[in-house]
Structure 1
Amino acid sequence: MQCYVYRATKRADTYVYLPEKDDFSELPEGVVRALGRLEFALEFELTPERTLAQEDPQKVLANLDEQGFHLQFPPPEEDR
């Protein structure tokens, strides 16, 4: 699955993964307000076997399929 990642301008180290480029229609209004403007960061092919720095690719794929987006929050302070 092609995956598009956007950086939140209001929340540091917070990203939104989408299955369609620039299609924010599945994001709840409250999420959009909390994150601010979303800036395109990168595009890549997401597979269950792909290694991601901070996320489980199977979880990301499941969220994209079930809710149309995936949110990546910064790791907890103790993990940094």
Structure 2
Amino acid sequence: MLCAVYKSKKKADTYLYVKEKDDFSDVPESLLSVFGQPQFVMLVPANKRPRIAGIERERFLESMNEQGYYLQMPPKPENLLQSYRASLGLSNKNTNNESNG
């Protein structure tokens, strides 16, 4: 299965995979309006890679078969404060001294 990959001009590091080049008929209009005008990047042989779009091939193909597309979002940024506190063995709870009552 060849998939067409498009990048978003509105959302950094966001990619849309569709079954056929320039066929967005399965993609919801609301998603396309947020994604913006898709910019073609490449064709990818999805069945020849163990991982595609950062996930296992089976999960990717399942999404493509059920929805007709796959949306690859950028990874969430690491919370450096939480990582630092965890490395010190501290709680990640809110540390401000404000009263909630």
Q: Output the TM-score relative to the length of structure 2.
A: 0.71
Cα distance change of structure 1 residues 2 and 53 upon mapping to structure 2, 3 Å threshold: closer
Residue ranges of structure 1 left out of the alignment (5+ in a row): none
Native 8 Å contact 2:52 2:60 kept in 1: no
Identity %: 38
Question: Across the two proteins, how many residue pairs are aligned to each other?
Answer: 79
Q: Distance between the aligned counterparts of 1:9 and 1:49, measured in 2? A: 26
Cα distance change of structure 1 residues 31 and 53 upon mapping to structure 2, 3 Å threshold: closer
RMSD of Structure 2 on Structure 1 (CA):
1.8
Q: Distance between the aligned counterparts of 1:8 and 1:22, measured in 2? A: 14
Cα distance change of structure 1 residues 67 and 53 upon mapping to structure 2, 3 Å threshold: closer
Q: Which structure is larger by alpha-carbon Rg, 1 or 2?
A: 2
Show the counterpart of 1:41.
Answer: 41
Q: Output the TM-score relative to the length of structure 1.
A: 0.88
Residue ranges of structure 2 left out of the alignment (5+ in a row): 80-101
Q: Distance between the aligned counterparts of 2:23 and 2:35, measured in 1? A: 15
Output one character per residue of 1:7-53: Cα deviation in whole Å (capped at 9) or x when no partner.
01110000000111110011111101101010001112111753336
Which of the pair has the greater relative contact order for Cα pairs under 8 Å at 6+ separation? Answer: 1
Q: Distance between the aligned counterparts of 1:72 and 1:53, measured in 2? A: 6
